[in-house]
Amino acid sequence: MSAVSGLSFPVEFDGQGRTTLVDGEDRLRQLIEQVLFTQPGERVNQPDFGSGLMNLVFAPGGDTLAAATQQLVQAALQQWLGDLILLDDVQTDFGDGVLTVTVGYVERATQTSRQDVFQVGLP
């Protein structure tokens, strides 16, 4: 069982009006998603939090952008979640108006290998 638990993302309420809690794989996936798609400056008390990934969707494509995106994502995940996960691999793909980020990692608490895929439609 994972030691990671916290509020669900996005925040939800149960039938009794209490905030919903998640743990384990779901919580790690939600934390990774927050790092990937939060722009630095969005959080008042953590202005450096996030990856800046969405800024790159307007840059010219190609191998250079793919490499820059992978570096950006790896650095952000290591900075913000390095105590929870050990990154194995990060792959990005821009295609058909969709940004896809595949993150391979090992959960440090359980030594479980995982791979999650995150997608967002581009404007």
Chain centroid to Cα 94, Å, comes to: 16
Mind listing the pLDDT tens digit for each residue in 1-57?
Answer: 455 666 666 666 778 887 676 676 788 888 898 899 888 888 888 899 988 887 766
Any residues with CB less than 8 A from the CB of 3 and at least 6 apart, and which? 109
Residue 76: what pLDDT?
Answer: 93
Pick the CATH number of 5-121 from 3.40.190.10, 3.10.450.40, 3.40.50.300, 3.40.50.10490: 3.10.450.40
Average pLDDT, the chain: 81
* Contact in structure between 31 and 18 (CB atoms under 8 Å): no
Q: Measured between alpha carbons, how far is 105 from 85 in angstroms, rounded to an integer?
A: 6
Predicted TM-score of the model (pTM):
0.77
Count H helices and E strands in the chain, helices first: 2, 5
